[in-house]
Structure 1
Amino acid sequence: MGIRKTAIIDMGTNTFHLLLVHLSVDNFETIFKEKIPVKIGQGGISRNTITPDAQKRAIHTLQHFKNLIDGEGIQEIYAFATSAVRNADNGQDFVQIIKELIDIDVKVIDGEQEAHLIYEGIRFSGSLNGDTNLMMDIGGGSVEFIIGNDQEAFWKQSFEIGGQRMLDLFHYHDPILPEEVEKLTDFLGEKLIDLVYAISKFKPTGFVGASGTFDTLSDMYYAALHQSKTNRENVFQLPKEEFEIIAEKLLTLNKEARLKIPGMIPMRVDMIVVASCLITYILRFVPVETLICSNYALKEGVIAQLIKKHSLWENTILKENQ
């Protein structure tokens, strides 16, 4: 295959990611990466729409990404949209607008494809071994769960209960009220019956969280230790006890106070409260002492697929039905 330059765009509900890489036969080297809190789910996700303001922010960001891609002379672009776009009544119109204005073809992937790519990304990070793990990726629109090991995924499912949705439904006061946490927990109990059944069936003994919220939680843990992560590492450990201390603290602080926590970033400050409630709920069912945090998620899963396939778009697992 030789070395080639590739661009990956992950249009998440909360954050848009751009990753420019040199792809080789069995690995990749990052040329440039950027994430921008576009928040296309804000104001519309609960009504299955992408608001005009959200579309404006998205177009502005994608134009910026395209300028960077063109500046590197990259022709090969893989752009993905997830929960907010796949559930929006105007999602296809939005994709068409992007094609017309910026000339980027956006592939809207379903929950099953999203979970599979996240699994591939986590596996690529080196987070897995022969043990059965529960893997989790908390997006703004959906949350993906996978149960598997470094060889295969035994079970995977996407649930439309992402951070922006939980925020809209339950987080009305700041700090969040105990009764709001209680309502959120009851909601999760109703929505995650399939997951709890799968956990009881496959009995995972490890837990891996992908990117996003888990990056920030582990940043906060490292900052509390006065340590910093190195760019060479893709996998970090967060002791469960330390996560519980952080999660408890997040429930009692308002936004201004949360922003002052070392390791916190502005784009995560709102959703991290409900996301931590979700993680706390999940950990009831998995007997672990340590949360493994993988830097890699969907976009690195795309890279893993491209490397594995040694071929272009139409030959990857995401091939459109002819």
Structure 2
Amino acid sequence: MSTRKAAVIDMGTNTFHLLLVELNGVDFKTLYKEKIPVKLGQGGISQNQLAQDAQKRAFHTLKHFKNLIDGENIDQVFAFATSAVRNASNGAEFVQKVKEDIGIEIHVISGEEEAQLIYEGINLSGSLNGHVNLMMDIGGGSVEFIIGTSQEVFWKRSFEIGGQRLLDAFHYHDPILPEEVDKLEAHCQEKLSPLLEAIHQYKPTGLVGASGTFDTLTDIYFESMLQCKLTGQHVFELPKAEFERIFELLKTKNREERLNIPGMIPMRVDMIVVASCLIEFILRYVPVEAIVCSHYSLKEGAVSRLLSGKVAV
């Protein structure tokens, strides 16, 4: 069977991911992956701007990624930009400059396309079953929600309430104050009313969290149980009671103390509090005993498209 190589670059609002894969028609092998906390939304996302410092970090990272891609002689490259770029008034200018200076063509995908790719990535991980699940992916700029099964999507939508936006708007004190949590929850109640209606309509019985924050929460849980995640495992369970315990821990610690929690990684330490507040809010509406955590998300959704022979966007 003939194999081919491809590269996927997921340019998130907080983190840039590079995934180099070898495709063999029905499956893929990861050759290399890397994630870098570029923080593209920092210093400008609330004004719908890409700040100059953030752009510099992005260029530095993309040049590094391009060197790795060229080193593997890969010419099939799919680069996606999400919330920070699609909402920035200078986003198109940034995309053009990347193309001219680095030679990477960036697809700025809509929130709906992002949600669909996230669903395909989650499905590829084996996280779904015949039941109706609510899936969520908490990015720095936006949060995607999908309701569906392994067979089909019933409803999907992207909301511009990602971790960086919530951090800028509500997390002024460290540890976060109870009144800041209350304001954040009231904001979610208002902004997510279409989601709450969809939950009422489709009645999901499971909650699947994709990548990012959910990876870190499961890392913290596994560390507390003195267990290691198995290499090659893409689906993990986080008991609701354990999430609640970790959430209480996160709310009462400052940044330095959070960094000392076993399993915490520096790139998640700032946004994990507001992201966990959002998860806690969602758990009120989806009664589950455990959160299923998919290690696969947007970039694996792009790989799924490549495997099926479809274009990536």
Normalised by the length of structure 2, the TM-score is 0.99
Take 2:23 and 2:83, find their aligned partners in 1: how far apart are those partners? 27
Alpha carbons of structure 1 residues 119 and 198: separation in structure 2 relative to 1, 3 Å = same
Take 1:24 and 1:108, find their aligned partners in 2: how far apart are those partners? 27
What residue number does 1:66 align with? 66
Shift of the alpha carbon at 1:317?
A: 5.8
Q: Which runs of 4+ in 1 moved over 3 A?
A: none
What are the ranges of 5 or more consecutive residues in structure 2 without an aligned counterpart?
none
What residue number does 2:273 align with? 273
Confirm or deny that 1:99 pairs with 2:99: yes
What residue number does 1:312 align with? none
Shift of the alpha carbon at 1:287?
A: 1.0
Shift of the alpha carbon at 1:237?
A: 0.4
Paired residues for 1:230-249 under 5 Å: 230-249=230-249
Identity over aligned residues, as a percent?
A: 67
Take 2:14 and 2:73, find their aligned partners in 1: how far apart are those partners? 28
Can you list the C-alpha shifts for 1:36-89, whole angstroms capped at 9, x where unaligned?
000000000000000110000000000000000001111110000000000000
What residue number does 2:153 align with? 153
Shift of the alpha carbon at 1:2?
A: 2.2
Can you list the C-alpha shifts for 1:183-219, whole angstroms capped at 9, x where unaligned?
0000000000000000000000001000000000000
Quick one: which amino acid aligns to residue 261 of structure 2?
A: I
Shift of the alpha carbon at 1:24?
A: 1.2
Paired residues for 1:1-322 under 5 Å: 2-309=2-309, 316=311, 318=313
**In the alignment, is the contact (CA less than 8 A) between 2:147 and 2:202 conserved in 1?**
yes
Shift of the alpha carbon at 1:31?
A: 0.4
SS at match of 1:230: coil
Shift of the alpha carbon at 1:111?
A: 0.2
Take 2:265 and 2:228, find their aligned partners in 1: how far apart are those partners? 15
**In the alignment, is the contact (CA less than 8 A) between 2:127 and 2:294 conserved in 1?**
yes
What are the ranges of 5 or more consecutive residues in structure 1 without an aligned counterpart?
310-314
Q: How many residues in Structure 1 have an aligned counterpart in Structure 2?
A: 313
Take 1:140 and 1:287, find their aligned partners in 2: how far apart are those partners? 26
Take 1:140 and 1:158, find their aligned partners in 2: how far apart are those partners? 12
Take 1:2 and 1:8, find their aligned partners in 2: how far apart are those partners? 20
SS at match of 1:73: coil
Can you list the C-alpha shifts for 1:241-298, whole angstroms capped at 9, x where unaligned?
0000001110000000000000000000000000000000000000100100000000
Normalised by the length of structure 1, the TM-score is 0.96
SS at match of 1:288: coil
**In the alignment, is the contact (CA less than 8 A) between 2:49 and 2:90 conserved in 1?**
yes
